Structure 1
Amino acid sequence: MSTDPLWPFEDGDTFRAAENFHQMTKDALTGPCAHRGGADAALHESIVDIHRFGRVEYAQNIRKVGRNVYPLIIARDNEPDQDRGDIGRQGLGGIFTLYLANGESRTIQPTPAAYERLKCLSHIPLGLFTILSPYFGDAQAQGWMAKAKVMATKVQEARRRLTEDAFDAREQRIATVILKRSYNYINRILSDVRCTREGFEVYAASIRAEIRDAMDYAAELQMDACMEALGAWRDELGPAEWRKLHVVVTTIWPVSEHSPRWQLFRTLMDPETVDTHLIVGEGVKSVEEARDLLGRIVADRLASRLIVGIDDERGRRMTQCLSSRTDVVADSAYRALQRRQSGECPFAPPKRAEAG
């Protein structure tokens, strides 16, 4: 037997406080635990449970459908999903992955390096705007100076490496003007210890023509390279397979309309199928999400045809909703608002009496 003294046992605060539960009735304790509720709640839950089960099956189904659509091209505008370490390097003019029914897939990035350089050059004033604009309202601020110095160093490094014959004449002129005037502007505001919105606008105006030319030249390089590469895929697949082609263009809302990739496929795809087979996926972050989205769209087209039908105008509109970006309840919601506004809705607020 040990002769060492035993540590003193003392009840904890939470244990002592729990004594209050002895005063509570079992009914009071039961309420939160019986989350299934009474008969009415149980009926509601049983109906919801049917939907919950169906949604799980739906998610699994659209995933499989999305991987059973061939040929398929997913057109992205960023680095491959497995290599996102260089997070600032986005917008490479189009990365296209072709999926074929035999399990083969191919990925190409047709645009030349000049495309990326021109895009980066045209973004220099945007980078400066991001650094400086938070301080446009405070003439005494100096919080922008450290980052402006870093930007000046990077711009000067690019200028140092820009030899007379580095690029073709058009890109050479664009790069020379943008880099020189950007460097001079940064040095000027650092020397003045002051940045203003008006001064930034004068700087931006001084390179506006070069920015526009950079955009035009980059677009020319992009369209030429991508049209040639995608045209080769079209020729390889042949008219019958190309007519079946689905394309998902992954994007974000600010650049989702008339993107260069959308315009490419609008030009290249079969005119009879392009309206239904060219899909713009906003907020889609990966190839897998793109294929899930495609599976949902393709599956919903058959589901709507079978469930709501196209035998009358209402059915046709609903099937169009499920094949487009329009919500399937759009018409119902609008009619409900019309009833409410006209006073037909029983929950509409009473109309005010006119002053007599």
Structure 2
Amino acid sequence: MTTRRGFLGTVSAVGAATLLMETQAATNASAATTATDEKAARDAIRGVNSGMRANYASLKAELIKHLSPVVVVQNNAVGGRFTLIDKGVQVETVDPVPEYFELAKSIAHVPLGIYSVIAAYLGGKVPNIPNADRIDPHDLAMVAFKAAGDTGWITPLTSFRATLSAARTKLPTANLPADLETSSTTILTEAIRFIDTALGAKSFDMVAFNQFAATVYPSIRVNMTFASTAQITGIEALMKRWRALIGETAWSDLYVMVLSIWTTAELNQASIIIRRTMNQAKVDTHLIDLPTAETPADPIGVALDNLARIVQDNVAAEMVFNSALDVADALKGKEDLLSKEILKQLDGTAPAARTAALGTAAAATCPVTGRTATV
């Protein structure tokens, strides 16, 4: 006979079983949707950054129209191409450097032209020349990639000789300054002599090449002097004219963007000259060297895009990070905002970060405010 206690016990057992089944089903459902929910949550978080970037890009696109005044400098073989932008309008584009800049540098590059032909064939041919310890053996091995005995250099060197010979023949009619003509003649003559010796012997060595390079170096210095004078004269004259054109007030706020490839970005020749013509109180922040991997297809567009980033970051730094000036300085400069925090952690001075696998709280210091909180 079923008793009250037995009945209640049965009911309780059924209820417990039902509850257990419902709980298990909920757990299974939770496990089944966790991955989907997590992805959705993380995508929502990524959306914040996407929204920020969209707003940032929109501001930048509008700001570009208001950048003024700006001079964009494209380094090139003729001493630089300069573009003045005022009130969003490209006023003028000029190659201001006298032609003999290009001509003087052209002849000064002769030893480098010969080296570029023979470099790949230098394997095992670098004796104990002066300052040989300055050559990285690994770098040399990568440059001197041709097999020993390969004579593939003969054809291109013969072709370059013809180019040098034509230049030497026509040099007297180029109407160059006398000293520049003399130095250029010496460089071309000695280069042809070196090539003829190498072609006659179907061989060359670095001792002979170094002797040739040392012989023409004084003449190369003459050519460098002429090229420098031409560039200084041309650029300073243009800056003076543009300064008068836009007026002293506008000129005092001038930004200059100098585009160059990485190998000429440090102490760039155009930057050195332009620096003297700018407002000295602002030159350190308004003269910007912009190294590029190669000459961009749209140099002015690249320059203005980067300048817009710089200008809006300069203002954002002081507004967003007003209470953390070191972070503001990072945003206004070339530092990544996380760089100092990364340096702290690599140095072992930063608090250990809590990972997803840890269940205990860890102290963390905000890199922006400097405050410590429990995570």
Q: Which TM-score bucket, shorter chain as reference?
A: 0.7 to 0.9
Whether 1:175 and 2:184 are equivalent positions in the alignment is yes
Could you tell me which of 215, 232, 236 is aligned with 2:224?
Answer: 215
Match of 2:104 in 1: 118
Contact 2:73 2:81 in 1 (8 A): yes
Name the SS of the counterpart of 1:282 in structure 2: strand
Name the SS of the counterpart of 1:335 in structure 2: helix
Match of 1:193 in 2: 202
CA-CA distance at 1:259 after TM superposition: 1.1
Cα 1:61–1:102 change in 2 (3 A) is closer
Amino acid aligned to 2:325: R
Match of 2:212 in 1: 203
CA-CA distance at 1:220 after TM superposition: 1.0
Cα 1:55–1:346 change in 2 (3 A) is closer
Whether 1:73 and 2:86 are equivalent positions in the alignment is no
Could you tell me which of 270, 286, 292 is aligned with 2:305?
Answer: 292
Amino acid aligned to 1:235: A
Residue-pair matches, total = 295
CA-CA distance at 1:60 after TM superposition: 3.5
TM-score (norm 1): 0.78
Amino acid aligned to 1:345: A
Match of 1:38 in 2: 36
Match of 2:133 in 1: none
**Distance in 1 between residues matched to 2:308 and 2:116, nearest whole Å:** 39
**Distance in 2 between residues matched to 1:176 and 1:135, nearest whole Å:** 28
CA-CA distance at 1:166 after TM superposition: 3.1
Deviations 1:163-215 (Å, cap 9, x if unpaired)? 27732111111110011111111111011100222221111111011112211
Match of 1:334 in 2: 343
Bigger RCO (CA 8 Å, 6+ sep): 1
Indicate the larger mover: 322-331 or 154-163. Answer: 322-331
**Distance in 2 between residues matched to 1:48 and 1:102, nearest whole Å:** 35
**Distance in 2 between residues matched to 1:237 and 1:167, nearest whole Å:** 35
Could you tell me which of 81, 84, 88 is aligned with 1:98?
Answer: 84
Name the SS of the counterpart of 2:280 in structure 1: coil
Segments of 5+ residues of structure 1 without an aligned counterpart are 1-35, 79-90, 348-356
Amino acid aligned to 1:299: Q
Amino acid aligned to 1:214: N
Contact 2:235 2:274 in 1 (8 A): no
CA-CA distance at 1:37 after TM superposition: 4.8
Alignment of 1:6-17 (within 5 A): none
CA-CA distance at 1:57 after TM superposition: 3.2
Deviations 1:229-260 (Å, cap 9, x if unpaired)? 11111122222110111110111221112212
Alignment of 1:1-356 (within 5 A): 37-78=35-76, 91-101=77-87, 103-137=89-123, 140-163=149-172, 166-283=175-292, 285=296, 286-309=299-322, 311=323, 315-339=324-348, 345=352
Contact 1:67 1:295 in 2 (8 A): no
Contact 2:101 2:230 in 1 (8 A): yes
Contact 2:68 2:88 in 1 (8 A): no
Name the SS of the counterpart of 1:97 in structure 2: strand
Amino acid aligned to 1:137: G
Cα 1:288–1:346 change in 2 (3 A) is closer
Q: What percentage of aligned pairs have identical amino acids? A: 24
CA-CA distance at 1:54 after TM superposition: 2.3
Cα 1:48–1:325 change in 2 (3 A) is same
Deviations 1:125-182 (Å, cap 9, x if unpaired)? 1111111011012662211011001100100111111227732111111110011111
Structure number with larger C-alpha Rg: 2
**Distance in 2 between residues matched to 1:59 and 1:296, nearest whole Å:** 9
**Distance in 2 between residues matched to 1:145 and 1:204, nearest whole Å:** 19
Cα 1:44–1:238 change in 2 (3 A) is same
Segments of 5+ residues of structure 2 without an aligned counterpart are 1-33, 125-147, 355-375
**Distance in 2 between residues matched to 1:331 and 1:295, nearest whole Å:** 25
Name the SS of the counterpart of 1:187 in structure 2: helix
Deviations 1:11-37 (Å, cap 9, x if unpaired)? xxxxxxxxxxxxxxxxxxxxxxxxx95
Contact 1:67 1:291 in 2 (8 A): no
Amino acid aligned to 1:40: E
Contact 1:141 1:194 in 2 (8 A): no
Match of 1:84 in 2: none
